[in-house]
Amino acid sequence: MDDDDVANRKVSLRKCLEHLSGAGKAIGVLTSGGDAQGMNAAVRAVVRMGIYVGAKVYFIYEGYQGMVDGGRNIVEANWESVSSILQVGGTIIGSARCKAFRSREGRLKAAQNLVQRGITNLCVIGGDGSLTGANIFRKEWSGLLEELAQNGEIDKEQVQKHAHLNVVGMVGSIDNDFCGTDMTIGTDSALHRIIEVVDAIMTTAQSHQRTFVLEVMGRHCGYLALVSALACGADWVFLPESPPEEGWQEDMCVKLSENRARKKRLNIIIVAEGAIDTQNKPITSEQIKELVVKQLGYDTRVTILGHVQRGGTPSAFDRILASRMGVEAVVALLQATPETPACVVSLSGNQAVRLPLVECVQMTQDVQKAMDERRFKDAVQLRGRSFETNLNTYKRLAIKLPDDQIVKSNCNVAVINVGAPAAGMNAAVRSAVRVGIADGHKMLAIYDGFEGFAKGQIKEIGWGDVGGWTGQGGSILGTKRTLPGKSLEDIAVQMRTHSINALLIIGGFEAYLGLLELSAARDRYEELCVPMVMVPATVSNNVPGSDFSIGADTALNTITDTCDRIKQSASGTKRRVFIIETMGGYCGYLANMGGLAAGADAAYIFEEPFDIRDLQSNVEHLTEKMKTTIQRGLVLRNESCSVNYTTDFIYQLYSEEGKGVFDCRKNVLGHMQQGGAPSPFDRNFGTKISARAMQWISTKLKEAPGKGKRFMSEDSICVLGISKRNLLFQPVTQLRKDTDFEHRIPKEQWWLKLRPLMKILAKYKASYEVSDFNQLEPVHPRGHEEPAAI
């Protein structure tokens, strides 16, 4: 892209925001219903984006109750009102269930309180009940104002001036029970709490050979139970949407005893609090415990997680999600006309979309209706693509058919890890091995990357060998950065010796380069003419062909946690600026997204060149900030963003320029970003994408029965990734043109469009692209592509 293109793009982006002036408009923001981690991030984004575009923003305390009571419950917010809340769980503006708002009298009072302050734009963060309430209020608005005018509470001029109420919803609910959105605010954080507990319980259960029954939240929705079962490899899971078949008691006990016979020292059973059987009768954790003790005599304990799941600090995913949704909600309110129906801002794949609120609520209620009428298949389908995929993947990975029932394919499929370790690699290997065995293949593990491949470090790996792998960080198979180029002949010999019919590569940019080398060598070595697919796994998130990589979410959480601690230390000492260096090679994903999740003042990345003038303006910005009540600063720097503007240079420059105003500290995070237990997102993503890769391999092998088939076509050597909203297999040779090989990054990176968002929330002038989002989308578009629900 040349300088003219850049200039034109900046002008067009600026135009996008210019016609979105909020001058003279007032926005009210409230949180309602049950609280969820990340609500504060959403409130912060709404307040700051609102102020940024020139609108007045009001906090409405205690949800609808505060709107009805008025007075000091509706207060104008300023920039500093939402400082230091990004990392706080719950909601700082309070939430309450409100009976008064359900009556017309209550809504009449609420309308009067809003009109008095000129508020005609509402941003509601809550569950389906809260959003339904907001929609009823919106429909009645003009009637309520007429009534207020007749009663003499407001004058005719006010009725005309405030004739329409615009409503935009964001779904804050840890249950992920709202149809139309892939993830609701709070779900990922609740999964973090559950997985922390499961990981802790596993160590004690292993010591005593115990069975644990874990009850998680989800009165009407089994999402938390299902995903946590997938993420920890639970033996059995109970969900409201998919009750176990008749005679499940016997099946479950057989499954538990089979697992014990395979030398597994513990069993984990996960139960959603709303679990039911096919007759809609509740299945309780105590019931399950009694059954296991009576039938099997195992030492069994019940742990009910309860409100722990709602608490704690929000995960990086939830902070970024909520910040994106909050900004999007303000844009939606400013673009709304009197004819615009109430909408929900939501996530589809990795894209923010707007959906009609009424349809989403209707669909959510349809799920409950289907469950009440015992139409459980319909209930699962109505929950959406993400839920269905999770359920099918869990079933395939949890229950092994007896060997004599598996149709053998007579094919050998090898799995290899390449590049630097990334959390979630082991979950991907486990998933591949089990899906491969279920498809009738013999699975081979290659140890120590291409180096081990050339030396013949290859062993068969069985179903039980990968038990308990999901929660382990690093790479159990071992991984090296070595490329196959120099040892192609040895690799071809090993392929022949072990009769390898297909290869699954799990790794980062080295894996991508390795795949290109193997592809180029196909005409010299016929052994390489087999289906090969790569699943991206690297903390840097720099693999062409995919918007996400396994391991990046775990690294992002490490960065965010560290930044939280550092900010806390800085607010104690006051007037201190921290400069933090993140990993990522030349890819600025971790620095940029870490900056967004941690509320940084700036993030220096290679993709957006900067010079001494930019550094100077950042110092001036921080100097101004020190005059406010927020006397601390946080600056992130990607390790390779500039040859000369090193972390030391920036630290020294800030120290010199900030003399007498603030002092500086620096921190290099280093390899702690590659370590640690994988986050729930990485476990789940690794499991699902790897299972999908194995299905592709099985399909390819079925197309070519017999040993002699040579795969020469481009589409038999692919990278599997998420692109926008779809899961795509892209031939590795076609991705060459999209790759900047010198800097080891894709030429186009989706997350760069979120860069202005970080700047706006840090009070910089920036141009935010709003053009993508004008239209309301239908709920559940079913296209030809394969949806990429995470």
At 607-623, the pLDDT tens digits run 999 999 999 999 999 99
Cβ neighbour number for residue 126 with a 10 Å cutoff = 28
Q: What is the pLDDT of residues 467-503, one digit of tens each?
A: 889 999 999 999 999 999 999 999 999 999 999 999 9
Element (DSSP H or E) covering residue 6: helix 3-18
Q: Who contacts 149 (Cβ-Cβ below 8 Å, separation ≥6)?
A: 155, 156, 158, 159
pLDDT at 724: 77
Q: What is the pLDDT of residues 728-784, one digit of tens each?
A: 999 999 999 999 999 999 999 999 999 999 999 998 887 766 544 456 766 654 343
Q: What is the pLDDT of residues 99-152, one digit of tens each?
A: 999 999 999 999 999 999 999 999 999 998 899 999 999 999 999 999 999 999
Q: Who contacts 215 (Cβ-Cβ below 8 Å, separation ≥6)?
A: 271, 272, 273, 285, 302, 303, 304, 305
- CA–CA dist 245, 256 (Å, integer): 17
Closest CA to 509 of 543, 479, 532: 543
pLDDT at 46: 97
pLDDT at 410: 92
pLDDT at 354 > cutoff 70: yes
Q: Once rounded to an integer, what is the mean pLDDT over residues 625-647?
A: 93
pLDDT at 346 > cutoff 80: yes
User: How large is the angle between the packed helices 316-335 and 589-598, nearest 10 degrees?
Assistant: 80
467 beta partners = none
What is the token pair recorded at 48? Answer: 């700051």
pLDDT at 276: 95
Question: Which pLDDT band holds residue 3 (cuts at 50, 70, 90)?
Answer: very low
pLDDT at 593 > cutoff 50: yes
Q: Once rounded to an integer, what is the mean pLDDT over residues 652-667?
A: 93
User: Taking all residues of the chain, what is their mean pLDDT, rounded to a whole number?
Assistant: 91
Q: What is the pLDDT of residues 23-79, one digit of tens each?
A: 889 999 999 988 999 999 999 999 999 999 999 999 999 999 999 999 999 999 999
pLDDT at 781: 42
- CA–CA dist 171, 186 (Å, integer): 9
Q: What is the pLDDT of residues 81-99, one digit of tens each?
A: 999 999 999 999 999 889 9
Give the SS3 label for residue 540: coil
Handedness of CA 222, 227, 229, 230 (dihedral sign): positive
pLDDT at 171: 95
pLDDT at 571: 74
Query: 537, 508 in Cβ contact below 8 A?
Result: yes
Closest CA to 684 of 397, 483, 328: 397
CA 502 to chain centre: 31
Query: 421, 258 in Cβ contact below 8 A?
Result: no
pLDDT at 6 > cutoff 80: no
Q: Once rounded to an integer, what is the mean pLDDT over residues 668-684?
A: 93
CA 359 to chain centre: 24
pTM of the model: 0.93
Q: What is the pLDDT of residues 419-443, one digit of tens each?
A: 999 999 999 999 999 999 999 999 9
Q: What is the pLDDT of residues 187-224, one digit of tens each?
A: 999 999 999 999 999 888 888 888 999 999 998 999 99
CA 456 to chain centre: 38
pLDDT at 10 > cutoff 50: no
Give the SS3 label for residue 353: strand
Active site residue 601: no
Question: Which pLDDT band holds residue 16 (cuts at 50, 70, 90)?
Answer: low
Name the catalytic one among 35, 69, 175, 318.
175
Give the SS3 label for residue 404: helix
- CA–CA dist 12, 10 (Å, integer): 5
Element (DSSP H or E) covering residue 554: helix 552-573
Question: Which pLDDT band holds residue 516 (cuts at 50, 70, 90)?
Answer: very high
pLDDT at 475: 96
What are all long-range contacts of 749-755, with beta carbons under 8 Å and residues at least 24 apart?
749/587, 749/589, 749/607, 750/350, 750/547, 750/724, 751/547, 751/589, 751/592, 751/593, 752/592, 752/607, 752/608, 754/320, 754/324, 754/592, 754/593, 754/596, 755/592, 755/608
> Percent of the chain scored above 90 by pLDDT?
79
Q: Once rounded to an integer, what is the mean pLDDT over residues 538-549?
A: 96
Query: 757, 323 in Cβ contact below 8 A?
Result: yes
- CA–CA dist 90, 81 (Å, integer): 16
pLDDT at 572 > cutoff 90: no
Cβ neighbour number for residue 183 with a 10 Å cutoff = 22
pLDDT at 290: 96
Exposure b/e, 425-442, CB count within 10 A at least 16 = b: bbbbbbbbbbbbbbbebb
